[in-house]
Amino acid sequence: MSDNASALPTPQVRSQGIALRRGVVLTIFSALLPGSAQVVAGNRRLGRAVLRFLLVVIGLVLVIGLLAALIPPLRNLLLGFMLGPIPLRILQWGVLAWALVWIALLADAWRLANPRMMSLAGKLVSGTLALALAAGGGTAAVAASRSVGALAGLSDSVLVGGGSNKTNAGRINVLLLGGDAGKGREGLRPDSMTVASIDAETGRTVLFSLPRNLQKVPFPADSPLHQLYPNGYYCHVKNLADACMLNGIYTLASSHKKLFPNEKYPGVVATQSAIEEVLGLKINYWAMVDLAGFRKLIDAVGGITLDVGVRVPMGSKETPGGIKEWIEPGKGQHMDGLHALWFARAREGSSDYARMIRQKCVMNAMLKQLNPTTVLTRFSEIADAGGQIVATNLPTSDVGTMLELAGKAKSLPMASVSFAPPLIVTWDPDFALIKQTVADTIAASEQADIKATAPAQTGTPSAPSTTSGSPSPTPTKSVKTSKTNKTDNLDSICKA
Domain ranges of the chain: 2-157, 171-451+478-493
**Which burial class, exposed, middle or buried, applies to 186 when counting CB atoms under 10 A from its CB (0-12, 13-18, 19+)?**
exposed
**Which burial class, exposed, middle or buried, applies to 52 when counting CB atoms under 10 A from its CB (0-12, 13-18, 19+)?**
exposed
Q: What angle do CA 15, 19, 20 make, to 5 degrees?
A: 120
Q: What angle do CA 219, 482, 358 make, to 5 degrees?
A: 65
Find the distance separating the first CA and the last CA of the chain, reported in whole Å: 79
Q: Which of 275, 253, 249, 267 is nearest to 194 (CA)?
A: 275
d(CA 388, CA 3) in angstroms, rounded, equals 78
What letter does residue 329 receive in the DSSP assignment? Answer: -
Contact by Cβ (8 Å): 491, 414 = yes
Q: Which of 367, 409, 326 is nearest to 494 (CA)?
A: 367
Tens of each residue's pLDDT in the chain, 496 residues: 445 555 556 766 667 778 788 888 999 999 999 999 999 888 999 999 999 999 999 999 999 888 888 887 788 788 778 878 888 899 999 999 999 999 999 999 999 888 888 888 888 888 899 999 999 999 999 988 988 887 787 777 677 778 899 999 999 999 988 776 554 444 456 778 889 999 999 999 999 989 888 999 999 999 999 989 999 998 876 665 567 889 889 989 988 889 999 888 899 999 999 999 999 999 999 988 776 677 888 888 888 888 888 888 888 777 667 788 888 888 888 999 889 888 888 877 777 667 777 877 887 787 777 665 666 566 666 666 666 666 788 888 888 888 888 888 888 888 888 898 888 888 889 999 999 999 999 999 998 888 877 665 444 444 433 333 333 333 333 334 334 444 555 555 566 5
- Please report the beta strands in 54-204, taking only residues with DSSP state E, as ranges in sequence order: 171-180, 189-199
Contact by Cβ (8 Å): 207, 260 = no
The whole-angstrom distance between residue 115's C-alpha and the CA centroid of its chain comes to: 51
Contact by Cβ (8 Å): 21, 117 = no
Question: Which alpha helices (DSSP H) does 333-430 contain, by range?
Answer: 337-345, 352-369, 372-377, 379-386, 399-409
What letter does residue 258 receive in the DSSP assignment? Answer: G
CATH 3.40.630.190 fits 171-451+478-493, yes or no: yes
Contact by Cβ (8 Å): 143, 41 = no
Alpha carbon separation from 239 to 242, 243, 487 (Å, rounded): 7, 7, 32
d(CA 225, CA 254) in angstroms, rounded, equals 11
| Residue 155 CB contacts under 8 Å (≥ 6 apart), including other chains | 83, 84, 85, 88, 396
d(CA 225, CA 236) in angstroms, rounded, equals 17
DSSP secondary structure of 96-119? HHHHHHHHHHHHHHHHHT-GGGS-
Q: Is 304 left (phi over 0), alpha (psi -120 to 50) or beta?
A: beta
